[in-house]
């Protein structure tokens, strides 16, 4: 027993080492940090939540941000922290990391057993084979490259979605400010038209105006009331949209906003510079470039799958043997006497001869084995061609995206400049004229 223990210990240590090598864990923390870094470079803020764990500080952080009213920057921080969509977006990155880990794993070995019972007597036949697919030697590198490219795509896509969440939040914030301002203006208009109707009614009693003037004043008052009610609904809807982006379930009217609408800017916009920055830094463009690289990696992977299965192994087999015949002395003596015509002793194998015969018999065979899938009918041509077409498609999509970005950026700059010009016109011309008209009335 003591002699067998070192040998068993070595086999046990080898088995444990194989199990440890086969164990793989998924740790996506670095990928989460990379995604946060991309978001921070784009908008200046990054999600603070851990998507795989419940953060006990989230509720306290939310309460702290809501105290004293929200600025637009605080609204973005709150959305990236408290909106469940931000957590789900980051978890997509974790799942892509799991795919990378899976792509680098070897396939499991296979083991087989056979047990045959002889029909004519003798020992049983027992066989065993152990095999490992070595096609992973050339498939894992290309498969891992494709998975890593997909991880980069997922990281940039997640960052782009988080940036979109931040932009939507800031837009909703200023839309809410605009809706609140419009509501205040319409309520002032209601008061003004009601006062105008009162004055016109008093003049009608004095005989200085007619009934038509009163009807006109009443129509203005009714239109102002309709506009005020529509503005109230628009303000409430804007606040609900903002509350949903912030991940809040409280009444939207309770959210205090402490900023005002920004003043128009009269500076000329550097459109060409905007186009250059967009083509270089936009996350969707970088995602499209990585999609091209991922498509190229998938071509390599499909080429490696021409020989999808090449297994080497070890086979052992215990041979079956018929049982040795027993010693029938009387029958053998009778046969020998009849054959020779006189009393003859039978031929009898000695115990030593039988032992020698047993020692020369082959009880078991052991040797290597090789099996592979021959690419005769299916050489993976269709999947290779599909991967090549996918590569060309991704390049075409990248080219189309870059061209559309040029026009979209110019369109956005034109809209921004026009909005600023209209706001400036209202501030410098329209509002002073309205005030003068009100004073004259």
The rounded distance, in Å, linking the Cα atoms of 198 and 201 is 5
**3-state secondary structure at position 372:** strand
CA 400 to each of CA 120, 159, 279: distance values in angstroms, whole numbers, following the listed order: 77, 21, 12
Digit-coded pLDDT (tens) for 206-237: 878 788 888 888 898 899 899 999 999 999 99
Tokens representing 8 are 């068993």
Who wins on pLDDT, 202 or 100? 100
Task: Check whether 302 has a pLDDT greater than 70.
Answer: yes
What CA dihedral angle connects 58, 60, 66 and 71, to 10 degrees? Answer: -60
Domains of the chain, residue spans: 31-319+363-440
Report the 10 Å Cβ neighbour count for 238. 22
Please, what is the end-to-end C-alpha distance for the chain in angstroms?
Answer: 115
Q: What pTM value is reported for the model?
A: 0.75
- 3-state secondary structure (DSSP) of residue 360: helix
- pLDDT of res. 402: 94
Decide which of 18 and 344 is more confident.
344
Q: Is 300 exposed, middle or buried (0-12, 13-18, 19+ CB in 10 A)?
A: middle
**Ramachandran region, residue 98 (left: φ > 0; alpha: ψ -120 to 50; beta: rest):** alpha
pLDDT band at residue 319 using 50, 70 and 90 as cut-offs:
low
Each residue of 361-389: pLDDT tens digit?
666 777 888 888 888 888 999 999 999 99
Q: What is the mean pLDDT of residues 33-50?
A: 85
Assigned fold of 31-319+363-440: Outer membrane efflux proteins (OEP) (1.20.1600)
Mean pLDDT of 11-24: 53
Average pLDDT rounded to a whole number, residues 280-301: 92
- Are the CB atoms for 81 and 45 separated by under 8 Å? no
Confidence at 440, pLDDT banded by 50, 70, 90: low
Please report which confidence band the pLDDT of residue 438 belongs to, taking 50, 70 and 90 as the band edges: low
């Amino acid at each position: 027993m003591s002699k067998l223990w070192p040998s068993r210990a070595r086999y046990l240590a080898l088995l444990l080492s194989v199990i440890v090598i086969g164990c793989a864990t998924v740790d996506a923390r670095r990928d989460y940090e990379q995604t946060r870094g991309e978001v921070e470079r784009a908008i200046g803020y990054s999600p603070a939540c851990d998507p795989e764990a419940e953060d006990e500080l989230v509720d306290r952080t939310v309460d702290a941000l809501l105290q004293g009213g929200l600025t637009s920057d605080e609204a973005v921080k709150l959305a990236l922290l408290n909106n469940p969509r931000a957590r789900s977006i980051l978890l997509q990155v974790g799942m892509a990391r799991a795919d990378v880990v899976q792509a680098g794993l070897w396939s499991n070995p296979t083991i087989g057993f056979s047990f045959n019972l002889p029909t004519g007597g003798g020992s049983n036949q027992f066989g065993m084979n152990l095999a490992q697919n070595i096609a992973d030697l050339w498939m894992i590198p290309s498969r891992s490259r494709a998975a890593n490219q997909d991880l980069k795509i997922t990281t940039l896509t997640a960052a782009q979605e988080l940036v979109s969440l931040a932009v939507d939040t800031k837009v909703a914030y200023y839309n809410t400010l605009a809706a609140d301002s419009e509501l205040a203006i319409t309520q002032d208009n209601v008061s003004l038209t009601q006062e105008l109707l009162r004055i016109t009614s008093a003049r009608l009693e004095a005989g200085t105006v007619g009934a038509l003037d009163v009807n006109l004043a009443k129509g203005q008052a009714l239109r102002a009331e309709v506009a005020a009610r529509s503005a109230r609904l628009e303000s409430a809807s804007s606040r609900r949209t903002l509350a949903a982006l912030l991940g809040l379930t409280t009444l939207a009217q309770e959210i205090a906003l402490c900023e005002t609408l920004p003043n128009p800017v009269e500076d000329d916009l550097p459109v060409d510079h905007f186009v250059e920055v967009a083509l270089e830094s936009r996350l969707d463009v970088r995602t499209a470039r990585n999609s091209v690289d991922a498509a190229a990696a998938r071509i390599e992977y499909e080429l490696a799958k021409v020989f999808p299965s090449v297994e080497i192994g070890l086979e052992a087999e215990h041979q079956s043997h018929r049982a040795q015949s027993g010693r029938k002395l009387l029958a053998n003596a009778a046969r020998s006497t009849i054959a020779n015509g006189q009393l003859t002793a039978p031929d009898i194998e000695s115990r030593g001869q039988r032992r020698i015969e047993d020692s020369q018999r082959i009880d078991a065979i052991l040797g290597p084995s090789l099996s592979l899938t021959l690419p005769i009918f299916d050489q993976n041509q269709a999947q290779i061609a599909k991967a090549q077409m996918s590569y060309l498609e991704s390049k075409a999509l990248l080219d189309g995206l870059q061209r559309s970005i040029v026009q979209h950026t110019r369109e956005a700059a034109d809209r921004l400049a026009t909005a600023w010009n209209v706001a400036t016109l209202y501030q410098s011309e329209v509002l002073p004229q309205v005030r003068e008209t009100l004073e004259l009335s």
